[in-house]
């Protein structure tokens, strides 16, 4: 048994290491392709590649298993100097390469970069940015060490997930939320959870199919705040938790509101001196764990509560990937303003198979210290889809183990014809409604793979759901002055709003979905991008949608430079890099393409 456990651990470590090498190299190639063009060579015809790290005097070479038009390459081999490359080698070489001058192709000004890209379509020049300035060796060294530690943390977690949970099937909404083993394909440490101990990882990681009870805090009404989109949305936690709460609060029950808290966060905030002060004043009363079993979802801090038919977006004062996952007042204001705006404008009213999972309420404490308040803030999101047949897209696109076929194509049987039919059905309820909302109503969503769900019937899409409205942006050219006065947090220039949907849905979402499908049926990604293009051409001819025209004719979309931004400590205001628009290139190769130039 011990030998078998060691063998499984060794195999899991190897798979985690190889996958992390793929992530690091793909991030580096995408993000530095313009700046270090002479050092990066990809040969699609021979499926070979070579990446030189000049600062370290090394070259990484090898064979590709699959060449990706969007840069999500699969590798057969990765070596340097005749030896296999370890992920820590790549971390060291990348940090050396980006030290000092750093990635000169990086620009943290999304708006400025997009404007320059649109003006100079053929050149794809980018502005030079040095986020840290000069004489910052000590700061850069600290970022480099932090970067390496987070990569190690992510690899360690991934090893654990592969060892303990790989191969588990998904058969409903809950299991799909708890099956995102490897995560973002263009992030250097997608499974980092810095702040969790090893025991915490075992107890709270969704990848390990965990479940637990939430903890609750009674908050005196003079420091309790809640806001709901309407009276029908209100959740009465006193009623839901009456048997647990009343014996503790007794006659004071009406003086307090209730806040659900993640168990890890509950232990953390209970020890804070400011919180202990509020406890002594009886502004806060710790109620311990209670209520129904909850299941952590793919975001870790959001939980699914089947008994209450809802998700709750909790605060966690620790890092998931590269961000502290607390809920600020501005984020929650944006969330509720977006819920109200999108509802008022009946965003998908004409789309019977496209839906929004609205956040309907926010609750928190009214402390003077905003940072302290953010540790308590939560948002409610009711479940209004069929949980028995609905899946998170990111889990369908992933394989149960690195190197295997995606769950989606395994479900479909892996045939090209069914893949094309699936994509047609999917675009009808996702892509087209999203570009219509963008072009006609100016409403844009952060509809990346983890923020979207699909309901399947006999394996084919019947409903599409987008969630997490904090990421909504609205084209300011399509709003009234009265709307601007109501909430200016949602409104962006057209270029910025377009860039957000282009990145989150076209590059991130469709890019990875198409990659998984094309790789699994052994065709080029261009095969499916041509299918997407044809659908958009038809939509443009029918509607004249300006955003659709942009998608078809722009030379490039902007993608986050997650690696550069993490290494530079600018994750809150990330840098972006142009990614070639495959549809434009395909259009240029098509003669007489019904009047669509490019």
Whether the per-residue pLDDT at 229 is higher than 50: the answer is yes
SS3 state of residue 501: helix
Q: Which of 332, 348, 382 is the last residue of a domain?
A: 382
pLDDT for the residue numbered 147: 93
In a domain, 547, yes or no: yes
79 shares its domain with 99: yes
239 shares its domain with 370: yes
SS3 state of residue 467: strand
Lowest mean pLDDT among 323-327, 338-342, 395-399: 323-327
443 shares its domain with 508: yes
Instruction: Express each pLDDT in 530-548 by its tens digit.
Output: 999 999 999 999 999 999 9
First to last CA, the chain: 61
472 shares its domain with 536: yes
DSSP state letters, 520-588: HHT--HHHHHHHHHHHHHHHHHHH--HHHHHHHH-SEEEEE-HHHHHHHT-TTS--EEEEE-HHHHHHH
Phi, psi of 181 (to 5 degrees): -70, -45
In a domain, 408, yes or no: yes
Q: Which CATH number does the domain housing residue 444 bear?
A: 1.10.510.40
Q: How far is CA 240 from the centre of its chain?
A: 32
435 shares its domain with 496: yes
Tokens of 526: 């261009």
9 shares its domain with 148: yes
DSSP state letters, 85-124: PPHHHHHHHHHHHTSTT--TT-BS-HHHHHHHHHHTTTT-
In a domain, 95, yes or no: yes
pLDDT for the residue numbered 7: 57
In a domain, 198, yes or no: no
In a domain, 520, yes or no: yes
239 shares its domain with 290: yes
250 shares its domain with 359: yes
Place 1 in a pLDDT band, splitting at 50, 70 and 90: very low
Q: How far apart are CA 535 and CA 442, in angstroms?
A: 20
Residue-averaged pLDDT of the chain: 90
∠ CA 173-299-425, rounded to 5°: 45
Q: What percent of the chain stands above pLDDT 90?
A: 81
Report how many domains make up the chain. Answer: 3
Element (H, E) at 456: strand 452-457
Q: What is the pTM of this model?
A: 0.91
Please compute the mean of the pLDDT values over residues 353-375 and round it to a whole number.
95
What is the Cα gyration radius of the chain? 24
pLDDT for the residue numbered 112: 41
∠ CA 48-190-311, rounded to 5°: 140
In a domain, 8, yes or no: yes
71 shares its domain with 217: no
In a domain, 179, yes or no: no
Place 319 in a pLDDT band, splitting at 50, 70 and 90: confident
144 shares its domain with 35: yes
Please compute the mean of the pLDDT values over residues 190-211 and round it to a whole number.
95
152 shares its domain with 56: yes
Residue 204 CB partners (closer than 8 Å, separation 6+): 196, 210, 212, 262, 263, 264, 296, 300
Q: How far is CA 209 from the centre of its chain?
A: 20
**Helix ranges, 413-465 (H):** 416-429, 431-436
152 shares its domain with 282: no
Task: Give the domain extent around 351.
Answer: 211-382
Phi, psi of 513 (to 5 degrees): -65, -50
Q: How far apart are CA 437 and CA 526, in angstroms?
A: 26
pLDDT for the residue numbered 272: 95
In a domain, 594, yes or no: no
∠ CA 126-130-136, rounded to 5°: 165
């Amino acid at each position: 048994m011990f030998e078998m456990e060691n063998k499984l651990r060794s195999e899991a470590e190897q798979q985690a290491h190889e996958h992390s090498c793929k992530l690091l190299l793909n991030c580096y190639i995408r993000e530095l392709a313009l700046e270090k063009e002479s050092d990066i060579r990809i040969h699609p015809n021979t499926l070979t590649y070579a990446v030189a790290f000049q600062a370290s005097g090394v070259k990484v070479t090898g064979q590709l298993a699959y060449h990706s038009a969007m840069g999500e390459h699969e590798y057969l081999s990765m070596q340097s100097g005749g030896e296999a490359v370890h992920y820590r080698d790549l971390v060291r070489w990348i940090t050396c390469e980006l030290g000092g001058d750093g990635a000169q192709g990086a620009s943290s000004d999304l708006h400025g970069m997009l404007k320059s890209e649109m003006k100079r379509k053929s050149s794809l020049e980018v502005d030079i940015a040095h986020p840290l300035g000069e004489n910052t060796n000590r700061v850069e060294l600290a970022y480099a060490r932090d970067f390496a530690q987070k990569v190690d943390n992510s690899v360690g977690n991934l090893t654990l997930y592969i060892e303990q949970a790989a191969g588990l099937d998904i058969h409903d909404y809950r299991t799909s939320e708890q099956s995102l083993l490897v995560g973002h394909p263009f992030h250097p440490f997608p499974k980092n959870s810095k702040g969790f101990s090893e025991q915490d990882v075992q107890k709270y990681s969704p990848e390990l199919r965990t479940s637990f009870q939430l903890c609750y805090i009674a908050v005196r009404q003079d420091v309790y705040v809640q806001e709901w989109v309407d009276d029908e949305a209100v959740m009465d936690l006193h009623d839901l938790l009456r048997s647990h709460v009343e014996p503790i609060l007794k006659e004071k029950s009406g003086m307090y509101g209730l806040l659900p808290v993640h168990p890890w966060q509950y232990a953390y905030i209970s020890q804070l001196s400011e919180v202990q002060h509020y406890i002594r004043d009886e502004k806060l009363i710790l109620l311990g764990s209670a209520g129904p079993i909850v299941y952590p979802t793919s975001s870790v801090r959001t939980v699914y509560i089947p008994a209450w038919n809802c998700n709750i977006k909790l605060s966690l004062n620790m890092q998931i990937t590269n961000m502290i996952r607390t809920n600020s007042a501005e984020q929650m204001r944006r969330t509720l303003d977006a819920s109200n705006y999108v509802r008022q404008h009946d965003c998908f009213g004409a789309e019977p198979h496209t839906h929004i999972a609205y956040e309907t309420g926010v609750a928190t404490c009214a402390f003077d210290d905003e940072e302290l308040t953010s540790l308590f803030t939560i948002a409610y999101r009711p479940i209004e889809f069929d949980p028995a047949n609905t899946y998170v897209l990111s889990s369908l696109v992933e394989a149960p183990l690195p190197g295997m076929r995606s769950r989606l194509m395994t479900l479909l049987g892996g045939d090209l014809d069914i893949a094309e039919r699936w994509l047609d059905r999917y675009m009808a309820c996702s892509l087209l409604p999203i570009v219509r909302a963008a072009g006609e109503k100016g409403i844009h969503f952060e509809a990346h793979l983890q923020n979207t769900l699909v309901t399947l019937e006999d394996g084919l899409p019947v409903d599409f759901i987008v969630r997490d409205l904090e990421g909504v942006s609205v084209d300011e050219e399509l709003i009234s002055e009265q709307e601007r006065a109501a909430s200016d947090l949602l409104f962006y220039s057209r270029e910025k709003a377009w860039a957000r949907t282009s990145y989150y849905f076209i590059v991130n979402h469709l890019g990875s979905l198409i990659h998984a499908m094309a790789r699994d049926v052994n065709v080029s990604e261009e095969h499916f991008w041509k299918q997407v293009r044809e659908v958009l051409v038809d939509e443009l001819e029918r509607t004249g949608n300006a955003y659709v025209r942009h998608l078809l004719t722009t030379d490039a979309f902007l993608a986050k430079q997650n690696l550069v931004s993490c290494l530079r400590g600018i994750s809150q205001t990330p840098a972006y890099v142009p990614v070639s628009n495959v549809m434009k290139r395909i259009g240029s190769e098509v003669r007489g393409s019904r009047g669509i130039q490019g």
